[in-house]
Each structure stands twice: as structure tokens, then as C-alpha cells.
Amino acid sequence: MLPKPVVPAYGSEAPERLASMADVTASDAALRRFLHGLPGVDAVGLQARAAALGTRSIKTTAKAYAIDLAISMIDLTTLEGADTPGKVRALCAKGARPDPLDRTVPRVAAICVYPDMAATAKAALREAGAPEINVASVATAFPAGRAALPVKLADTRDAVAAGADEIDMVIDRGAFLSGRYLQVFEEIRRVKEVCRRDDGTAAHLKVIFETGELQTYDNVRRASWLAMLAGADFIKTSTGKVAVNATPPVTLLMLEAVRDFRAAVGVQVGVKPAGGIRTTKDAVKYLVMVNETLGEEWLTADWFRFGASSLLNDLLMQRQKLSTGRYSGPDYVTVD
Amino acid sequence: MTDPQTLDTSQDTPQHPEDTQPVDKQPAQQAPRGAFAYAPAPESRSVVAIAPSYGHFIDGEFREAAGGKVFTTVSPSTEEVLSEVALGGPEDVDAAVAAARRAFGPWSALPGAERAKYLFRIARIIQERSRELAVLESLDNGKPIRESRDTDLPLAAAHFFYYAGWADKLAYAGYGADPKPLGVAGQVIPWNFPLLMLAWKIAPALATGNTVVLKPAETTPLSALFFADICRQAGLPRGVVNIVTGDGAAGAALVAHPDVRKVAFTGSTGVGKAIARTVAGTDKKLTLELGGKAANIVYDDAPVDQAVEGIVNGIFFNQGHVCCAGSRLLVQESVAEEVLDALKRRMATLRVGDPLDKNTDVGAINSPEQLARIRELADAGEREGAERWSPSCELPASGYWFAPTLFTGVTQAHRIAREEIFGPVLSVLTFRTPAEAVEKANNTPYGLSAGIWTEKGSRILWTAEKLRAGVVWANTFNKFDPASPFGGYKESGYGREGGRHGLEAYLDV
């Protein structure tokens, strides 16, 4: 049995409750007091829980379901200095039709590119007949985030103007680590403002912490709350550009943070682990974590994403294995 | 945002409207949409071959009971009869003790390093056969395979490895230059961790040069009988380990046997008292590891998510069939509501069911008698005014089951706060100050274990110093290690098992 978890109701009272949180962001000191007043994280316990969730045995129908779910949650990513329109178009074609021989494979959630490639991606997806796939663009001086705020805002504005549906911004880890929480808060808030389009809609804002640089679990929890208070639609572990990227404990901690945030404020936020998730086995472990921490409501591409480039092919190979009973090989999936 | 339809592969219509070619691959056909329901992932039963009947293991041979009587052992999750086992009586105990006595001379005369070889060999065989033994343990006991595989078996092997390491170093254990073994050890073990308790008892006894007659619990004799086979496989000399199966009568005969020099018992406080009376006035050494009603103290600055995990692990591990289970949650009033909400949410995700399914968190209650006792105490809790809560949970139709249960509004005056329930039932009490937490935690006839949850190191030390409990866990619960001594205060018994301290009980010191 797995009964439906009890989740507190949310909705109408959300804006009010969020407004009541305004005092905690009134000053650097108030924000620090609030963030440091959050419950602590016991590292050993967190890691043990993440490891225990990793031992779930997901087989047959559940595995098939998880594979398709994982595919539909991928932000298929290319973030190289050497990116070209050709490379981006190829990636878009792959996202639209992950397995050319099997039309039952779902499409990915988004194509994630640098801002200067957003327009190319948007057009390529339209041409591929997959306009519902979002274009996510990393902005704000990705991946270092070391630029003046006007530059970051301009970067974001460009990406939104080029048609990006989602903005993946990096926080200023230097400011965060030196305790200038209000500065980080303001930056997120300002970026969120420029995500707004003229027609009143807005690009979704994903806030990247680079958790490998934040170092401690307490910092990850504080960064999560900070970003959510500032209006993040998604919180994301990492850029994929440093040594330590998404890990199960860090992701679990962020899942707990979005759960607690919704219970406290009534606003639901998504989570995106990114970097280093390469195998179906890993992806399934993350889905189990979402399932048992947040439940079904977060088990859609609206609320959970994988930032990955090579994960898709392993998922496709596992999918082929499930449907044919045989392992194929890397030449039976495309290299784009 | 992605079209939610793309998740659905169970439709007959192709997903991408431009595709009209027939589709023959539908891997996700049966998975219900919108629900990540884990398909059953059962461990194979075929890895273990259970014989239709077993005799006692005496002097290296399996033999029928002297009286020819047998009893059956059933799988608590299905009520299926697993095997027939010899019902031991005084004659069987006599034969086993005599075999152990004969073996004692040569065994104790072996150099420690030689005894260590046997123990290492046993440890390695346990590891090699761990999958088989884990499945067997889950079948006979009802505990989830996840726990027998990840806890019982690794720990059982670890105990043999650990005490193998001591066998040739007894002179350095702090009990004199040449500590001597006692002779025949009579050991009676419970049904909650059949193989692990066997390892706790047999490993130190053999390492120190004693020989053993062990009586496993009536409801879970099978892993001990498989262990007898492991002894043969390891080439252990005849008579060093003897297993007599049976009920309380066999246990009583073993404890009272005049040639038994050392009695070790793990089980209920009532039986422990009876054993203490039997042994009183004799020169037998006795260690008792009895009941518990452990306090799990959660301070207001605790890491909440990890504390909730610790609470769950403290009481629902092994269906709460744990003498050191954290069955009394003492939570600071200021965070009680928050902690309870989180705990209920977490309890709702516990998966109760087939012990052989690798995804099961909570298995079956070991016996109908135990189930009746749990029910009786839970009903008493309700009658006495505590508020009962369980997650909605469908229990299997056959077998013995009890849903994970939480009682709030419990006070020290409730029976469920005083008596050991030995089941998945948590009593929640609150406190206001650290002093009150300690006072309530210690206000129990038992004193086996306790837990402390706080981010503040000094508070951990202050609290641990004041708790009258044999084991105090800080920011964790139910963690075991062969190097760490285990045992109780007050009615939780005396003597220590595990670690260097565990040697003392088997040495003439």
C-alpha cells in the first residue's frame, strides 16, 4: 500500500501569506535571522535517507512508467562554448523525436541553451513540429554569475526577447557566502521582473545555486528559501560546470524545502537537479525521491526537471530493453 | 510547458499527430497514469531450500527429539507452514550439554588464532550465503527483506568477524594476562532478530573458548538450523555449537542444567526474572538483555526532517519488534505540532506488506500471540484517552498484520507509556524543558536505550550524561555495531554484549 500523503491545502491564501513573509526580507539582518532560524540539517541523516530512497527496486511496469516520465522531464542541454546553430537544431530534432524508430517515446520538456541560441532553438522546434517543447536559456552571466547586475538583466532580457520560455539564472555565490543575502534576493527579484513579457506572460524563472560551491547543507536550505521568497518558479542544483553537481542528498534537501515552503506560504515551486545524472538508474532514484517526499503532485515536468545531456540516450536504451527484452547498444540511439 | 499527454503511452492513438504508422511497442501499458506505483519486486524464494522437517543439532549431527515430538514453524506473512521442527525436552538438552562438555576441553585448548580461523570462516560463509539467509529470515520472521538483507545479515557476519579478531588477543582485553573460558554456555534467544541474536551470543562465546548450546525462539528456529549447517560447512569441531529447538520448557531445562556454566538470555523481562530466580544461588554467570521503553527526545532545535526519519526508524524498524525501539517520543511542546505533522506525512509513505518485496518497509507481526498483545495494549491506549492515528493502509488478508500506529496526548500515567508493546506503536509525550525531558525519559522501569535530537552539541552531552540507559543515540537511532557494547539498566537487564565488554560475560573474571 502507498496511501496518498497528507498535504496541506494551498491556493487562495497564498498571496496573503507570501505578503506576510515580506518582513523577513525587509533588511539584510532580518533575512539573515530568518534564514538562520530554519531547522538545521543533520548531514549524516540526510545522506542516509537519500541512500535509503536509492534502494527502492523499480521494475517492469513501474520502470517503464518511470522511464517515460523521466524522458518527459528532461531539459535536453547543450552549453558549450563551441555551440553552433547546427548543433542546436540537431538537439531540437532529438528532443522532438528522441527515438526515430519508436514513436511512442514522449518528447523532452525543454531544450536548454545559451541566450544567443534561444531564437535558433525556438525556430528549430517549430520546424520540428514540436512547439510545445520549451526553450530554456541560461542567463545572468552563466555559469559564474560574475557580472554587474545591469549586465545580468540585459542578458536575461535578450533571452526572453529571443523567445526563451524559461530562464535559468545563477545566483551570486560570492554574495551568498559572504552573507549578503539581501543582495542575492534583490538580484533574483529583478531578474524575475525582466522575465515578464509585454503581453503580460512571463518566462519561468529557475534559480541555480551551484550547490557544490555552497558546500554545506544548511547553506542549500537557506538558498532554497531565499530563492523561493524572491519568486523563483524552480530551484535548480547546479550549472553542470563545476566538480560537484546534483547529488541525491542535496536534491532531497531541496525537495523538502519546496514542500515546507508550500506548507508555509502556499506557493508551489519546482525542483531541477542538473549535472552528472547520466543513467536511467540514477534518474529513477531521483523520481523515487520526488514520489516519496512530495508525492504525485510534483511528478510532472511542470514541477520536476532533469538538467542533462547524456541521460536521454541511456533512458532510450533501457526503454528498448524493456520493450524488446534485449540490450541494444549506443549505435541504436542517436548521437545528437 | 510540456503537454501532459506526452507522458501517456497507454493510449492507442499515436502521440505525435503526424505519425500514422502502427505502433507495436507499448512498454508502459499497465502503469497507471499519474501514479508512480511501484510494481512488486519480490526476492526469489528459490534461493532457499527449506527441508520439510528438522531435528536438533547435537554433536555435529541433526537428530530427532528424544520424545519424538515436533512443532511447526509458519511464515507470519502468509500463515504457510514452512517446516516441522523437533520439540526439545530435558533429554535433548542433556544430550546437547553433554556434547558441548565433551567438546569444551579440546576447543578451549586451541590457540586463539586457531579458533579465530573457524570464526572467520563462519563469517565468510554467512556473507556468501547472505541472500539465502536473508530470504529465510524474512520468511520465518516476517521482517522485510530490505532489513534482513541490509541489517541483519551484514551485522551477523560483522559480529563473527569482530570476535574472530579478539580470539587471539584476549590477553589484551583487560581481563588479566590469561583469561579462561567458563565452559558450556546455555543461550536462549528471541524471535525478533533470530540470526543476529545468534551471532551476538555465539561469536563471543566461541572466541573466548566456550562451547555452546543455543535454543532459538519457538516461532523462528530456521535460521539457527541453517547456521548449524554453516558450522558443519566451516568444519567446526563436533559439539562446539549445539542447537536445541523447542518452546519455553526446553529453554527452562537448558537454563537449569547443572553443567551449564554461563547463561545468556535475550527476551522478555518476565522470562528474564524467572531465569534470574533459577540461576540465583548457583555459580552460573548470567547476562540478561530484556525489555525496553526507550525515550526518543526531540528538542526544539532538532533537525526536523532527520529527526522524523529517526523516529520512524526508531519505532517502525522491524515492525517495532526491537527491545531498544524508541517507543516513547518525547517532543518539546513548542515544536510538537510541526514534528507530528511531519511524522504523519512520513508515516503515510510507509509501505506495509509482503516481506519478500524489496520495497516493503514494514512487514508482518511475528505471531498471533504477539499481534493479540499489541492489539490489547493499543486498545488500552484508546480506552485511557490517548488519540490513536494510523495512515490509511490496506493490510493483507492472510497473515498477522498491524498498521503503523501513533498515539498522541499520551501521559506518563498511560499504560502505553509504561509497558513495552513490542510492535509498531509509538506513544507521543511532550515536555517543556530539558530537565523535564530527562525526568520523563528516566521515569520507566526500563533503561535499554534512548535517543536525543538537537543541533546543539552541549545539550547532547548534558542529556546523555543524565539518561539512565545503556545506549544513547544522538541524532540517530537503532544503529548497531559489533564494536559497541549493548545492554541495559534496571529491568532491561544486566551485562553487556558486543565490544570488548562483551568478552567479560564469557570469561572467568
Q: Any CB–CB contact under 8 A between A55 and chain B?
A: yes
Name the A residues in 271-300 with CB < 8 Å from any B CB: 287-288, 291-292, 296, 299-300
Strands (E), chain A: 74-77, 110-113, 134-139, 166-170, 204-208, 234-236, 270-272, 306-308
State how far residue A131 is from chain B, nearest Cα, in angstroms.
10
Amino acid found at B1: M
**B294-303: pLDDT as tens digits:** 999 999 999 9
Q: Scan for cell 498471533, then name that residue.
A: B368
* Closest chain B residue by Cα to residue A108: B2
B197-218, pLDDT tens digit by residue?
Answer: 999 999 999 999 999 999 999 9
User: SS3 for A203?
Assistant: coil
pLDDT of residue A18: 73
Q: How confident is the model at residue A2 (pLDDT cuts 50, 70, 90)?
A: very low
Residues of B in contact with A6 (CB under 8 A): 341, 344-345, 348
Question: Residue A72 and residue B2: Cβ atoms within 8 Å?
Answer: yes
Q: Cα B155 from chain centroid?
A: 11
pLDDT of residue A14: 66
Within B70-160, strands assigned E span: 70-74, 81-86
- Who's near B81: CB < 8 A, 6+ residues apart? B72, B73, B74
pLDDT band (50, 70, 90) for residue B93: very high
More confident residue, A1 or A330: A330
B389 min Cα distance to partner chain A (Å): 13
Question: Does any CB of chain B come closer than 8 Å to the CB of residue A335?
Answer: no
Residues of A in contact with B309 (CB under 8 A): 45, 48-49
Among B36, B359, B475, the residue with its CB nearest the CB of A45 is B475
* Cα gap B322→B199, rounded to integer Å: 16
Residue A5 has pLDDT above 70, yes or no: no
Buried b (16+ CB within 10 A) or exposed e, A225-240: bbbbbbbbbbbbbbbb
Q: What is the mean pLDDT of chain B?
A: 94
Taking contacts as CB-CB distances below 8 angstroms, the residues of chain B near A321 are none
- For the four alpha carbons of B397, B399, B405 and B407, in that order, the dihedral sign comes to positive
Tell me if residue B69 falls in helix, strand or coil.
coil
- The chain A residue lying nearest B301, using CA atoms, is A39
CA B238/CA B235 separation, integer angstroms: 9
Cβ contacts from A onto B, under 8 A: 167
Inspect the interface and report whether the beta carbons of A56 and B4 lie closer than 8 Å: no
Dihedral, B433, B438, B439, B444 alpha carbons, nearest 10: 140
Nearest to B14 among A61, A63, A103 (CB): A103
Q: pLDDT of B233-253, one tens digit each?
A: 999 999 999 999 999 999 999
- Cβ separation of B351 and A1 shorter than 8 Å? yes
Please identify among residues 84-113 of chain A the ones whose CB lies closer than 8 Å to any CB of chain B: 97, 102-104, 106-110
Q: Please say whether the beta carbons of A246 and A276 come within 8 A.
A: yes
Of A49, A64, A134, nearest to B1 by CB-CB distance is: A134
User: CB distance B38–A68 less than 8 Å?
Assistant: no
Q: Cα distance from A148 to chain B (closest Cα, Å)?
A: 31
Question: What distance in Å separates residue B168's CA from the closest CA in chain A?
Answer: 35
Give CA–CA dist A287/B494, Å, rounded.
Answer: 47
User: What's the pLDDT score for residue B35?
Assistant: 73
% of chain A at pLDDT higher than 70 = 96
Contact A49 B6 (CB under 8 A): no
Decide if B217 contacts B250 (C-beta within 8 A): no
Say whether B31 and A61 touch across the interface (CB within 8 A): yes
pLDDT at A3: 34
- Let me know if A258 is exposed, middle or buried by CB neighbors in 10 A (0-12, 13-18, 19+): buried
Mean pLDDT of A322-331: 91
A82 CB burial (10 A radius; 0-12, 13-18, 19+): exposed
For residue A110, what are the β-bridge partners? A75, A134
Contact A104 B23 (CB under 8 A): yes
pTM for this predicted structure: 0.93
What's the DSSP call for residue B1?
Answer: -
The pLDDT confidence band at residue A148, using thresholds 50, 70 and 90, is very high
Contact B38 A322 (CB under 8 A): no
Choose, out of B1, B3, B19, B349, the residue to mutate when testing the contact with A (most A CBs < 10 Å).
B1
**Cβ pair B36:A299 closer than 8 A:** yes
Burial of B80 (0-12, 13-18, 19+ CB in 10 A): exposed
Asked if B15 and B6 touch (Cβ cutoff 8 Å), the reply is yes
CA distance B175 to chain A (A): 36
Cross-chain CB nearest to A103 (options B15, B349, B359)? B15
Helix orientation angle between A280-293 and A60-72, rounded to the nearest 10 degrees: 90
Task: Give residue A13's pLDDT.
Answer: 61
Kindly identify which residue of chain B lies nearest to residue A290, measuring between CA atoms.
B36
Contact at CB, B16 and A129, closer than 8 angstroms: yes
A46/B306 CB distance under 8 A:
yes
Q: Which amino acid is at A298?
A: W
Q: Active site residue: A152, A192, A272, A285, which one? A: A272
**Which of B5, B21, B38 is the best residue to mutate to test the A interface, defined by the most A CB atoms within 10 Å of its own CB?**
B38
pLDDT in tens, B276-332: 999 999 999 999 999 999 999 999 999 999 999 999 999 999 999 999 999 999 999
Say whether B2 and A107 touch across the interface (CB within 8 A): yes
CB B503 within 8 A of CB B177: no
pLDDT per residue as tens digits for the range A178-212:
999 999 999 999 999 999 999 999 999 999 999 99
The verdict on whether A102 is a catalytic residue reads: no
Mean pLDDT over A125-153 rounds to: 97
A132 shares contact with chain B (CB less than 8 Å):
yes
Query: Which residues of B have a catalytic role annotated?
Result: 289, 323
Picking from A107, A16, A252, the residue whose alpha carbon sits closest to that of residue B15 is A107
Eight-class DSSP state of A332: G
SS (H, E, C) B342-366: HHHHHHCCCCECCCCECCCCECCCC
Question: Considering CB atoms only, which of B30, B36, B394 is closest to A291?
Answer: B36
Nearest CA in chain B to A56: B359
pLDDT at B436: 98
Name the catalytic one among A165, A168, A172, A314.
A168
Instruction: Give B-chain residues touching A41 at CB under 8 angstroms.
Output: 303, 305-306
A-chain residues near B29 (CB < 8 A)? 61, 64
Query: Which residues from A are below 8 Å from B302, CB to CB?
Result: 39-40
- Give the mean pLDDT of A75-95: 97
B359 vs A39, A57, A133: nearest CB:
A57
Exposure string of B406-415, with b = 16+ CB inside 10 Å and e = fewer, is: bbbebeeebb
* Whether the predicted pLDDT of B27 surpasses 90: no
Q: What is d(CA B54, CA B245) in angstroms, rounded to the nearest whole number?
A: 9
pLDDT score of B149:
97
Q: Determine the distance in angstroms separating the CA of A301 from the nearest CA of chain B, rounded to an integer.
A: 7
